[in-house]
Chain A
Amino acid sequence: MTRAWPPPGTAEARAPHPADRGPLDIDTDLVRDWLVQFLREEIERRRGFRRVVVGLSGGVDSALTAALCAEALGPAAVLALLLPYRTSSPRSREHALLVAEKFGIPTRTIDITRAVDGYLDEFEPEAGGHRRGNVAARQRMIVLFDQAFKLSALPVGTGNKSERLLGYYTWHADDSPPVNPLGDLFKSQVWALARAVGVPAEVVDKPATADLVQGQTDEEDLGATYPEADLILHHLISGRGPDDLVEAGFERKKVELVAGRLESTHWKRHLPTVAMLSPTAIGEWYLRPVDY
C-alpha cells in the first residue's frame, strides 16, 4: 500500500462541471487487479467452474471481458463464441478474431441466422430492425448458455454501467449471464481499462455499436456521446438533480434525455415482479445472498 494524500475533497472540486471528468478517472492498474480477482473468486472459488464462455462481438466490452477472463483463468479456459447474424458487419468478425488472437483465446463461430430467421421469416416476416435485434440478442443467449452447459462452463456477461443505466440492452439477453465484471464501469471507463489491458486500438477507438442494425451506432441512437452521458449519469445517480446539472453548465437537452432514459428503465434492472402472498416471499422476506 502506498501512502498518498487523499484526493481533493473541497466543495469546489466536487461541484459538477461538464469539463471536469475527474469523477470518472480510474486507476486502471487497481481496477484490472480487482476484476481479475473478482473473476477468479466468483467463477472458481464460489461457483466451482474452471471454464467460461464469452460472446465476442468485435466490440470493446466483450473484448475487455474476454481479456480479463483470459488473465484470470488462463486463455485456454475461455471459449470466445462469435455469433453473427446475417446483418452483422464483417468488420465485427475481423475485430473479434483480432482480439482472440491477441489474448490467445480459442474461438468458435456459430451463425445464428437460421435460428433467428426460422422464427421471424415463418411467423413474423414484418418484424422491423428493433424486434429482429432483440430476437438475435436472445438467440445469442440461448447459444451461450447451451454451449456453457455442454462445456461445464459459466457464461460471463459483458454489459457496462452506461448501458445498464440507460436501459440500452435487451432484457433477459445481454444482462442474463450470472457473472459480469464490467457492470459497474461506465463506457468511458471501459475504454480506459481496455487501452490499459492492451485491447487492440481498432476495437477501442471505433464508434460503439450494438451491431443489431447495419450502420447503427450507440451514440446516434442515444442522442449523446458516451463521455457526455457517463458524466451526467454519474452526477444523477450521485444525488444531483437535472436542474443542478443544467445550472452547472450541462446542456439541458442532453441532461433531460439521459435522465429520461434512466428514470424510465428502473424496471429493467430488476428481476421480474412477483406477487407477494406470504411472509416467506422469496427475495422479500426470505433473504439469502447469491453465494450462500
Chain B
Amino acid sequence: MPLDIAIAQFRPSKGDLDATLDGCAGIIRRAAGAERRPRLVVFPETALTGYFLEGGVREQAIAAPELFEALNARVGEDADGLDVAIGFYERDAAGIYNSALYATLGPGGGILHVHRKVFLATYGVFQEERFVEAGAGIRAFDAPPGRIALLICEDGFHSVSGTLAALDGASIILILSASPARGAAPGAGVPGNLVRWEALASAIAAEHGVFVIVSQLVGFEGGKGFAGGSAAYDPHGHRLLAGPLWEEAVLPVRVDLDEAARARTEEPLFSDLERSWTRLLVNSPGSGVRRPAPDGE
C-alpha cells in the first residue's frame, strides 16, 4: 500500500512563535494542495522554537492542545485529514518536555500521540537535563497511515529505542532531530554527525524491517549549524532520499508499506527478536533473577 509522506526540513524563526507557526502552516497548506497530496508531514525536533533556548524554554513551551489548535486555526479547511508530526517544547502541569506531537488536522481530527524525549542529551554542547524533564517511555500508536512510533534525536542513538518501537508494532518510525553539525573530515561530503545518522537510521530500519524517516532541523543558532540532510530509509535499510544541506526543503517520499512484510520475511530478524525478547529480559542484568553460577565456581 503506497503512502506519501512529506519531510519538512524546516528553519524556525527562533523565539518568534507566531512567525514560526505561520511558517509551519504555510508548508502544511502547500503540502495539502500539492498534486500528490501527502498523508503525513513530518517536521523536525523543536521546529516550533529552535533548539538552543536554555532557560527560554520557560517562555516558549506550550501545551500540546494549544499547539494543535494553533496549527488548525492557521491551516483552515485546506488541510482537513492531513497528519502532522512536529517537535516542540511542551508545557504541562508536571513540567517542560522536549516533545513531538502527532495529530490529524481538521475538525474530524485530533491529537493521536505525544512522545516526550526519553534520552535527554546532556553532554558537550547539549544541556537538556538542565531545562526539561525526561519522557517515561516509547510507545507505538495507531494512526491513519499505519502504526507509528516517534523518537526524538538522541532517542534514536540508543538501539533499544528502535527495538521498543518495533516490538510495540510500529511499521514506521519517525525520528525528529535537531543535530548540530560537527566534523568536517574528507570523504563523506557531509558533516560527521550526518554520517552517524546514516548508520543509525539505516540500522534501525534493516534490523526491524521498518521504514525510518529522519526529519532534520536546519539553520544556525549561536554558531551551531543544523545542516539539514533529512533522510528516509526502507525496511531493508536502503536510503530512499536525502535532503539538501543548509537549506529548507519539503521532501516528498512515497513508501510501500507492504515492503515491511517482505523485508521481514526475507530476513526474519524481527520475529527472532520477538521470540527471544522476554527470555532476554528475564535473564538480563538487573532483572532480579539470580542466575546459577557456572559449575566449579
Residues of A within 8 A of B (CB): 1-7, 25-27, 29-31, 33-34, 37-38, 41-42, 45-46, 286-292
- B66 an interface residue at 8 Å Cβ cutoff? no
| Apart from A4-B187, A6-B199, A27-B187, 17 more pairs, CB < 8 Å | A1-B189, A3-B198, A6-B187, A6-B188, A6-B195, A7-B195, A26-B185, A27-B184, A27-B188, A34-B246, A46-B14, A287-B54, A289-B53, A289-B54, A290-B222, A291-B222, A292-B15
Residues of B within 8 A of A288 (CB): 53-56
- B17 an interface residue at 8 Å Cβ cutoff? no
Assuming the contacts A3-B239, A34-B191, asked whether A291 and B181 have C-beta atoms less than 8 A apart, the reply is no
A239 and B277 CA atoms in complex are apart in Å by 38
A34 and B53 CA atoms in complex are apart in Å by 22
The answer to whether B54 touches A30, judged by C-beta atoms less than 8 angstroms apart, is: no
The answer to whether A26 touches B184, judged by C-beta atoms less than 8 angstroms apart, is: yes
1/0 per residue, CB under 8 A from A, across B161-198: the answer is: 00000000000000000000100111111110011001
Residues of B within 8 A of A33 (CB): 245-246
**Within the complex, which residue of B52, B190, B199, B223 is in contact with A30, where a contact is CB–CB below 8 Å?**
B190
The answer to whether B186 touches A26, judged by C-beta atoms less than 8 angstroms apart, is: yes
The answer to whether B186 touches A25, judged by C-beta atoms less than 8 angstroms apart, is: yes
Which A-chain residue is minimally distant from B182 (CB atoms)?
A184
The answer to whether A30 touches B189, judged by C-beta atoms less than 8 angstroms apart, is: yes
A292 and B242 CA atoms in complex are apart in Å by 30
The answer to whether B198 touches A34, judged by C-beta atoms less than 8 angstroms apart, is: no
Residues of B within 8 A of A5 (CB): 187
Which A-chain residue is minimally distant from B51 (CB atoms)?
A289
Can you list 22 pairs linking A and B with CB atoms under 8 Å apart? A1-B242, A2-B189, A5-B187, A7-B185, A7-B187, A25-B186, A26-B185, A27-B184, A27-B189, A41-B219, A41-B220, A42-B223, A46-B220, A287-B54, A287-B55, A288-B55, A289-B53, A289-B56, A289-B222, A292-B53, A292-B54, A292-B56
Which A-chain residue is minimally distant from B219 (CB atoms)?
A41
A41 and B14 CA atoms in complex are apart in Å by 12
Residues of B within 8 A of A27 (CB): 184-189
The answer to whether A30 touches B231, judged by C-beta atoms less than 8 angstroms apart, is: no
- B209 an interface residue at 8 Å Cβ cutoff? no
The answer to whether A1 touches B194, judged by C-beta atoms less than 8 angstroms apart, is: yes
Residues of B within 8 A of A6 (CB): 187-188, 195, 199
Assuming the contacts A34-B225, A37-B225, asked whether A25 and B239 have C-beta atoms less than 8 A apart, the reply is no
Min distance, Cβ B243 to any Cβ of chain A, angstroms:
8
Which B-chain residue is minimally distant from A27 (CB atoms)?
B186
Which A-chain residue is minimally distant from B239 (CB atoms)?
A3
- B229 an interface residue at 8 Å Cβ cutoff? yes
Which B-chain residue is minimally distant from A285 (CB atoms)?
B55
A26 and B185 CA atoms in complex are apart in Å by 5
Residue with the highest number of chain B CB atoms closer than 10 Å, among A3, A29, A289:
A289
The answer to whether B220 touches A37, judged by C-beta atoms less than 8 angstroms apart, is: yes
A289 and B15 CA atoms in complex are apart in Å by 10
**Within the complex, which residue of A2, A31, A46 is in contact with B188, where a contact is CB–CB below 8 Å?**
A2
The 4 A-B residue pairs with the shortest CB-CB distance in the complex, in nearest-first order? A1-B242, A287-B54, A41-B220, A37-B246
Residues of B within 8 A of A45 (CB): 219-220
Min distance, Cβ A191 to any Cβ of chain B, angstroms:
15
Which B-chain residue is minimally distant from A183 (CB atoms)?
B223
Which B-chain residue is minimally distant from A36 (CB atoms)?
B246
A252 and B172 CA atoms in complex are apart in Å by 55
Min distance, Cβ A282 to any Cβ of chain B, angstroms:
11
Min distance, Cβ A280 to any Cβ of chain B, angstroms:
10
A289 and B49 CA atoms in complex are apart in Å by 13
